[in-house]
Amino acid sequence: MVSDPLPICAPATPLLPSAIAVVRVSGPNLGERLGSLVALPEPRRAALRTLAWEGFRERALVLYFPAPASYTGEDVVEFQVHGNPRLVRRLLGHLGTLGIRPADPGEFTRRALLNGRQALLEVEALRDLMGAETDTQIRLAQARAGALPPWILDAKATLAPWVARAEAAVDYGEDEGILFDLGRMRQELAPLEERFHVEQRRARAARHLQDGIRLALVGRPNAGKSTLFNALAGEDRAIVTPLPGTTRDVLEVRCEWRGLPLRLYDTAGLREAEDPVERLGVARVAPVLEAADLVLRLEPPGAGGEEPALARILAPFGEKVVVLRTMGDLLEGASPVSERVVSARTGDLDALETLLKTRLLGGLAPDACLGALASERQQGLLEDLARQVELLLGLDAGGPPEVPASLLQGAWGLLARLTGEDRVESTLDHVFSGFCVGK
C-alpha cells in the first residue's frame, strides 16, 4: 500500500453543467469512512442510494470496488450524481468533513502505479491518450496500453543470465575457475542490437506522430502557401487572393492529414517588403522556422531568380528546408513524385505525403509505429540502452570480467527504469505532471 493512506476524492468529470457528474473516492476502509453518508452497495454492482448531508438529498448511482481489485488498489467508490457543478462542489466539501482530502492531478493513477495495479509504460500511454488530439494519436496511445512490449521481455530474458554470469565471474572467477565467455555473450546479444535499432527507428517516428509534425510553409508571395495550408487543413482557414502579400500574420492549424497529425503554419510571403505591415509579418516567420520539424519552401512554376530575403531568412535552417513545387496543374505533362510537385488545386499531394514519411517517419507508415515507445523519457532510455549494448558487443576478449559486468548491470538498470520497476520519484513527478485531477 502507498505510504500516505489518507483517502482522496475528486470529480472525474469536468465541472460543467452536464447530464451526469462522477465523483471518485479512493482510500482504505471506505465503508466505515463514508458510513454517515451512504451504505455501500454490493461490490461492483451499481445501486441507487440517497446521499443526505447538510440539508441536501441527492439520488445517486453508487459503485463500490473493494481493495485490492480496484483502479487504485485501494477501496474505490464512485458516485454518479446530477451534473450540476455547484452540487458536485458541495458533495466534495462534505467529503472533506469526513477526512477525505482533494486529490492532486493524477493521484488516483499514481496510487494505482504504486500499488502495482498499473505499470509505468501503461500510465504513460494513459497520459498520452488523455492528450491525444487526432485519430492516429489515439490509436498510438491505445496500442501502448496493456502488457509490456514483447521485445522488452525478450531483452530481459536475454540479458538476465549474462548479468548473473558476469557477476559470478567477478566474485568467484579466479578461485572457482568461472570464466566469462565473451564470445558467446556477443553471439547471444547481437540480435538485441538489431532489435533496439528497429525500436529506435519506430520510436523516433512515433514521437513525431505523438507530438504532431510541425510543418512550416514558406516561400515568396503568391507561392501558393495559403492554398496548400487550406487543402491540408481540410478547411478554408487562410485568405487566398491573387494579390501577392495577402497573408500577414502566422496562422496555425492542427489537423490530421492522411493519417499524419500535423501542426501547420502558414506564413507571410518572404520578400524585401516595403509595406510596414508586411515587414512585421516577415519578422514573425523566424520563430516558426526555429520550432518547425520541416520547412517547406514552396516554389510555383516559372518563379524567376533567387529572392534575397528568402535565401537570407532560410539560411540558418539548411537541413530542414525542403523545396516543394506548387501549382503542378499549370505544368505540362505529369510529374513523377520524385520531383516533388504538388497541386493544391487538384488535390494531387502524393509527393508531399511521400516526402513527410521519408523525412520524418524514416519511411514507416503510421500504422508501423503502433506499440512503439514515444515519450522523450522512453526514447532517451532506449538510446542509452542501444549504446550500452553496442559497447558490450565491441568488447575485446581477454579483458577483466569487471568491464562486461558493469556494462551488463548498466543495461539491466536502464531496462528497469524504462519499465518503471526501478522507481525514481523524479520520473514519477515528471510523468504525472501531464495528468488531470480525478484521473
Tell me which residues touch Mg ion (CB under 5 A): 225-226, 246-247
The interface partner of residue 285, options being ligand GTP, Mg ion, none and the CB cut-off 5 to 8 Å by kind, is none
- Crossing angle of the two packed helices 150-176 and 182-211, in degrees rounded to 10: 150
For residue 429, give the amino acid letter.
D
329 lies in the binding site for ligand GTP (CB under 6 A): yes
Determine, following the binding rule CB under 6 A, whether residue 244 of this chain makes contact with ligand GTP: yes
Between 190 and 229, how does the x/- string for binding to ligand GTP read (CB under 6 A)?
Answer: -----------------------------x-xxxxxxx--
- Closer CB to ligand GTP, residue 275 or residue 429? 275
- Residue among 88 and 296 whose Cβ is closer to ligand GTP: 296
Site for ligand GTP contains 327 (CB under 6 A): yes
Q: Could you say which of ligand GTP, Mg ion, none residue 221 binds, taking C-beta under 5 to 8 angstroms by partner kind?
A: ligand GTP
- Select the residue interacting with ligand GTP from 343, 375, 379, 388 (CB under 6 A): 343
Please, what's the b/e burial string for 273-306 (b: 16 or more CB within 10 A of its CB; e: otherwise)?
A: beeeebeebbeebeebbeebbbbbbbbbeebeee
Q: Which is nearer to Mg ion, 170 or 240 (CB)?
A: 240
Residue closer to ligand GTP, measured from CB, 145 or 322? 322
Exposure of 315 by Cβ count < 10 A (0-12 exposed, 13-18 middle, 19+ buried)? exposed
Considering the complex, state which of residue 84 and residue 246 has its C-beta at the smaller distance from ligand GTP.
246
Stretch that binds ligand GTP, among 126-134, 146-154, 287-295, 337-345 (CB under 6 A): 337-345
Residue 360 and residue 259: Cα distance in Å, rounded? Answer: 13
**Can you list the positions of beta strands (E) in 127-275?**
213-218, 251-257, 260-266
**51 touches 60 (CB < 8 A):** yes
224 binds, among ligand GTP, Mg ion, none (CB under 5 to 8 A by kind): ligand GTP
Q: What is the DSSP string of 384-430?
A: HHHHHHHHHHTPPTTS-THHHHHHHHHHHHHHHHHHTSS--HHHHHH
User: 46 is written with which cell numbers?
Assistant: 451499481
From the list 13, 80, 326, 375, which residue makes contact with ligand GTP (rule: CB under 6 A)? 326
For residue 379, the partner it binds in ligand GTP, Mg ion, none, with Cβ less than 5 to 8 A by kind, is none
Out of 90, 156, 197, 345, point to the residue binding ligand GTP (CB under 6 A).
345
DSSP state of 118: S
Close Cβ partners of 322 (under 8 Å, ≥ 6 residues apart): 294, 295, 296, 297, 340, 355, 359
Judged by beta carbon distances under 5 to 8 A according to partner kind, the member of Mg ion, ligand GTP, none in contact with residue 327 is ligand GTP
344 is a site residue for ligand GTP (CB under 6 A) = yes
Quote the least distance from Cβ 82 to ligand GTP, whole Å: 50
Selection from ligand GTP, Mg ion, none that 80 binds (CB < 5 to 8 A by kind) is none
242 binds, among Mg ion, ligand GTP, none (CB under 5 to 8 A by kind): ligand GTP
Q: Is 59 exposed, middle or buried (0-12, 13-18, 19+ CB in 10 A)?
A: exposed
Can you tell me the distance from the alpha carbon of 373 to that of 380, in angstroms, rounded to the nearest whole number?
10
Alpha carbons 130 and 277: distance in angstroms, whole number: 40
Q: With respect to ligand GTP, which residue has the nearer C-beta, 102 or 221? A: 221
The Cα–Cα gap between 71 and 295 comes to: 44
Under the criterion CB under 6 A, does residue 240 sit at the interface with ligand GTP? yes
Binding partner of 283, given ligand GTP, Mg ion, none, CB within 5-8 angstroms per partner class: none
Q: Which does 223 bind (CB under 5 to 8 A by kind): ligand GTP, Mg ion, none?
A: ligand GTP
Q: Shortest Cβ distance from residue 285 to Mg ion (Å)?
A: 12
Residues in the chain: 439
User: Across the beta sheet with 8-11, what order do the strands follow?
Assistant: 47-53, 56-65, 75-83, 18-27, 8-11, 101-102
Displacement of CA 58 from its chain's centroid (Å): 40
Q: Of 9-48, which residues contact ligand GTP (CB under 6 A)?
A: none
Kindly list the residues in this chain that would bind ligand GTP in the complex (CB under 6 A).
Answer: 219, 221-227, 240-242, 244-247, 269, 326-327, 329-330, 343-345
